Amino acid sequence: MKTEKTVLRSPLGILATATATLGTGRDDDLPLPRLPGFVESSFSPLAYEVSRQCLTERPGDGSRTAVALASLMGDTTTADLASRRMVSGQVHNPLLFMQATANSVLGYTSREFGITGQTFSLSTLDDPVTELLAMADLLLEDPELDRVLVLGVELGGGERREAGVPPADGWARVSDAYRELAVGSNRPVPPPSTPAGLAAAVLLGRPGAEAPVSVRSAEAYEADHATHDEAVGTETVGTAAAGHPGNILGLFDLAAAHRRLLRDGGSHLLVTEPGVRRGRTAFRLTADAETPPSAPTDAPAVRDDREPHAHH
């Protein structure tokens, strides 16, 4: 498949990455923070947790920071809970009104970290990695911004599965939507075993001393040869087949690659899932040669060193 290049005009520096999972049964499932004003749904706690990790690890000027959150379907738990209460004639919980949009947790994050730059939320069918990196590249051309926090949040739709009688639960509604989206997009419906919640965040700036790993658009031929790592001579991180629409696993791949580069140095090719209309997009992540003091930067990347991803 043809690859789209030059998504990024200029390289980006990766300042920090963070991931959080809920209900995967894995050891890295994090206890999520309880956020005042947010109830029932893990959407906002997931979004806040990964944002908090990045912004705490690399504090910066909130007046020069923007935040973009991508989520295909948003907070389906809150939407379904509110709707079920409504159709059954129960009085709405005003807190469900307050948290009904992703803006609310973005507002919470902005208050906690003094962020006055633009904060906004997106929905995209394609791999959000491409949209979010492109968004950061565009926003960082604004002379009033230095940093862009991008994050993805995905609820499996089954967070409150026990609250409904299958198939009339939240998962049924979400999977109906995925089935319709699958028509014509060649993308699968996520399996019912999909984790209850995933979130990943990447704090980006322009490359510099603060950002030992940088990411830039890769040339098309690199991605077209991505299955032949020997020819490219670098580690490849990315999913081979398209997952379900809007899935945020690419952000987990990016975070894993970032962690590994910090540890080992070297270079990675991140290949996104093919988009609805465009081919795969490729990005090259490169560690500053002087960054990992304990790792030989001239050693060839080791293929077996892949980190497990949340979807495995």
Partner 1 sequence: MSGEVTVTGFGVRTAFGTGAEALRRGVFAGIPSFRATTRFDTGPYRTPMAGVAPDGPDAAWDWALRHALAQCGAEAVDLAGLRPGTKAAVLLGVAGDCTSVTRHWRTAAGATPGRRQDVAAAPHSATGATERAADAVPAHLAELLAGRLALTGPRLTFTNACVASAAAIIHACRLISSGRIDAAVCAGGYLVEEETFAKFDSGRALSRDGAVRPFSADRSGLLLGDGVAAVVLESAEHARRRGARPLATVVGWGAATDTHHIAQPHPEGVGLALATRQAMRLAGDPDGAGLGYVNAHGTGTKYNDGAETRGLRAAFPERAETIPISSTKSTTGHLLEAAGVVEFVITMLALLDGVLPPTAGFTRSAPECDLDYVPNQPRAADLRRALTVNAAFGGANTALVLERP
d(CA 205, CA 203): 7
Geometric angle at alpha carbon 104, from 115 and 142, rounded to 5°: 35
Asked if residue 138 binds partner 1 (CB under 8 A), the reply is yes
Binding partner 1 (rule: CB under 8 A), the pick from 33, 37, 233, 296 is 37
Q: Which residues contact 298 (CB under 8 A, 6 or more apart)?
A: none
Nearer to partner 1, 173 or 268 (CB): 173
Q: How far is the CB of 101 from partner 1 (least distance, A)?
A: 4
Interface with partner 1 includes 111 (CB under 8 A)? Answer: yes
Report, in Å, the least distance between residue 153 CB and partner 1.
12
What whole-number distance in Å separates Cα of residue 176 and Cα of residue 240?
25
Shortest reach from residue 177's CB to partner 1, in Å:
4
Distance between CA atoms of 214 and 304, rounded to whole angstroms?
A: 23
Give yes or no for residue 172 binding partner 1 (CB under 8 A). Answer: yes
Q: Are the beta carbons of 50 and 18 closer than 8 angstroms?
A: yes
To partner 1, the closest distance from the beta carbon of 307 in angstroms equals: 29
Give the β-pairing of 3-4 and 280-287: parallel
Q: Is 192 in the site for partner 1 (CB under 8 A)?
A: no
Establish whether the linkage from the previous residue to 33 is cis, with ω within 30° of 0: no
Tell me how far, at minimum, the Cβ of 210 lies from partner 1, in Å: 23
| Whole-angstrom distance, CA of residue 302 vs CA of residue 263 | 13
Check binding of 161 to partner 1 (CB under 8 A): no
Site for partner 1 in 61-80 (CB under 8 A): 62, 67, 71-74, 79-80
Number of C-alpha atoms within 13 angstroms, CB side, residue 191? 5
Residue 24 or 99: the one with the smaller Cβ distance to partner 1 is: 99
Task: Please count the residues of the chain.
Answer: 312
| Chain positions contacting partner 1, by CB under 8 A | 37-38, 62, 67, 71-74, 79-80, 82-84, 86-89, 91-94, 96-108, 110-111, 114-125, 131, 138-139, 141-142, 144, 164-165, 168-169, 172-173, 176-177, 179-181, 245-246, 276-277
